[in-house]
Structure 1
């Protein structure tokens, strides 16, 4: 079973949106997926209630029960667990990172958001797990802005995921009734971006060197 944590100190970075979209995309590829909501606001769990169904299974749990919840998922034959952590560099985020094989750190490409990931980067170094920044809600036709933001991320020593997620209306429209962009508009650009992130992520998880680093 693979475990991926979505971690960000700053609220509004798009953690839950990324979490639910990756969970649904992975389930669509035939994986058994559990989305574990560690955020006391339980936004992912609310989305799961709207959605219904059992793949992805959506479970809200306090971080103090994370190990037990992951063990239950493993015993149930889950292939992939995605951990949606609270928007803070606290014990819950540390627990999520330490339990994960891979950590994704979504951020917008604004100065305030980029400043906030410095703290998240320090947290990832404490957790000693492979972590990648992923740019989220990028304005269309913002190549120069992305390049400037990439320089900031490289400057603090955090690797950058090779796929950016663009600001698209499909994300907002889809989640209000428990769906995702790809279900709301099959084959749309948002769905293609999520699939690209998922393919890259699963490639990282299945690399022997990546697994060894995460052990």
Structure 2
């Protein structure tokens, strides 16, 4: 099983939206069983899942201190992916969670404050040798600040080649427990999520590569 944690030290970066859309895309692409864990006290992911009629992806509720054990049980149950949504925090508890990740997705909007926050997140992940990828969020067509942001982020680490555009469909679909690609299967949001999930899978290191990175 691969554990993918979506984390940013900045609030409002799109962590929950990305969590639900990517996990749903994984199921749509036949990469299930997929599970979700919501560690954000705000509980937005949980609220979305409570509204959802579809049975997948599944969500498990675990005490924060028991997440490591819970991940082990999910793997024994045959899970292929587990996505963990997180709160914007720099605390030691979040660091302990990030250490469980096979890959951390860091959503970043093209703005100075997001870039500064991403730089801080990068320092934390680098120090712990945790694999990660930046995902550009709420981008606008032909906006120069997007290109500038990608250029800056590329100095820290890999940026997913697929950007998530600023589309109302992403937020609107979540109001009744769905996702944008479920509302319009061949729409632009669906195409973005299909491509982005492929990008993310390509970033997940094998165990051998993970050990190589950890050993410097």
TM over 0.5, shorter chain: yes
After TM superposition, list the pairs within 5 Å mapping 1:1-215 onto structure 2.
1-30=1-30, 31-142=32-143, 144-155=144-155, 157-205=156-204, 210-213=209-212
Q: Distance in 1 between matches of 2:10 and 2:206?
A: 30
Q: Distance in 2 between matches of 1:214 and 1:23?
A: 26
Question: Are residues 53 and 92 of structure 1, via their aligned partners in 2, closer, same or farther at CA, if it must alter by over 3 Å?
Answer: farther
Q: Distance in 2 between matches of 1:18 and 1:85?
A: 11
Task: Give unpaired runs (5+ residues) of structure 2.
Answer: none
Shift of 1:206: 6.5
Deviation track 1:154-177 (CA, whole Å, cap 9, x = no partner) reads 34x222111111001110110001
Question: Are residues 15 and 107 of structure 1, via their aligned partners in 2, closer, same or farther at CA, if it must alter by over 3 Å?
Answer: same
Relative to structure 2, which stretch is displaced further, 36-45 or 58-67? Answer: 58-67
1:103 partner SS: strand
Relative to structure 2, which stretch is displaced further, 145-154 or 180-189? Answer: 145-154
Q: Distance in 2 between matches of 1:188 and 1:212?
A: 40
Question: Are residues 145 and 36 of structure 1, via their aligned partners in 2, closer, same or farther at CA, if it must alter by over 3 Å?
Answer: same
How many residue pairs are counted as aligned between the two chains?
Answer: 213
Deviation track 1:128-175 (CA, whole Å, cap 9, x = no partner) reads 111111110112332x222210122134x2221111110011101100
Q: Distance in 2 between matches of 1:175 and 1:77?
A: 27
TM-score by length of 2: 0.91
> RMSD of the TM alignment (CA)?
1.9
> Are 2:140 and 2:146, in contact at CA under 8 Å, matched by a contact in 1?
no
